[in-house]
Structure formats: structure tokens, C-alpha cells
Amino acid sequence: MNNLTPPFTLETAIQKTRMAEDSWNSRDPQRVSLVYTEDCYWRNRSEFTTGRQEIVSLLTRKWAKELEYRLIKELWSFTDNRIAVRFAYEWHDDSGNWFRSYGNENWEFADDGLMKRRFASINDMPIKESERKFHWPLGTRPAEHPSLSELNL
């Protein structure tokens, strides 16, 4: 994974956002954890975690529950070492109930480009399977797939 470091430009902030999306769409907790500092601090919904091992545990639980997870992130704003994104992802539970989860994340980066703080606010909305908008094969979103803005999300 590229190691884009602060201070961010529009181009590098967009790259960081897409790299994060691609990593999360892998649904590989170990891979995802490697872009965070060893002592990274998270607030994810109502859960607070510190460090890569806790991140791996949280993501392992998450993706055991959130099946067929597909995510789109979009840059909202950035400064020297901070990036704000909005996102939406679709998933279903083990009973086949579909959801679209919407949220915002605030990221703060260390000088080496690893994320040291992540604050996520997320809301889940039940949807019908016919209302899904994210239809690519599991894994990285294809470049030609519409963005959140293009989908009016």
C-alpha cells in the first residue's frame, strides 16, 4: 500500500480515501489494521478501541455479522494531517435482511502516513434487496462504478 504522508493535497487526500475504501472492501481485518499506528485510537459507533489487535477483533466481529459487505467512501474535507470522509455500505445479516449504513469518519494521521485516530459515526437503514445500489463482485469497487454523489447518496 502506498505510504502517502501529510501534509495532504487534494490529490493525496482522494488517494488516501480510495485506498481506505479498497482496504475495507477486502474484508481482511489484518490487512486493514496495518494502515493504523500500533496505538491507534478508534471510536466506532459506541465502541472504543486502542491498537491494532483491538481493531482486528472489532473488524472480525463486524464482518462475521455484516455479510456481503460493499463500501463506498468519498472525501468530504481535509487539512494538513486530517481527512474527513462520508461513506455508505450495504450488507445483510444472517437472516437475509439488507441494510445500508451511512456514516462520517474523521481521520488524523501521524507523520509517517499511518492513521493514529479514527472517529466514526454510523447509522443503519433497513432496505429491501431490490433497493441495493452496490452490485459489484465482492472486493474492490470497480473504477467505473458510480460514487456516492453520482448515486445521490
Q: Quick one: pLDDT at residue 3? A: 61
Average confidence score pLDDT of the chain? 96
Please write the tens of the pLDDT for every residue from 1-17.
456 999 999 999 999 99
Separation between Cα atoms, residue 21 and residue 17, nearest integer Å = 6
Residue (of 3, 24, 9, 135) closest to 87 by Cα position: 24
Report pTM.
Answer: 0.94
Residue (of 12, 121, 26, 109) closest to 71 by Cα position: 26
Mean pLDDT of 74-89: 98
Q: Quick one: pLDDT at residue 121? A: 97
Domains and CATH numbers, the chain: 10-130 (3.10.450.50)
130 SS3 class:
helix
Q: Quick one: pLDDT at residue 1? A: 42
Mean pLDDT of 35-54: 96
Mean pLDDT of 125-143: 97
Separation between Cα atoms, residue 102 and residue 73, nearest integer Å = 10
Query: What is the helix (H) or strand (E) element at residue 54, kind and residue range?
Result: helix 52-65
Mean pLDDT of 95-102: 98
Q: Quick one: pLDDT at residue 143? A: 94
**Percent of the chain clearing pLDDT 90 (strictly above):** 98
CB atoms within 10 A of CB 153: 16
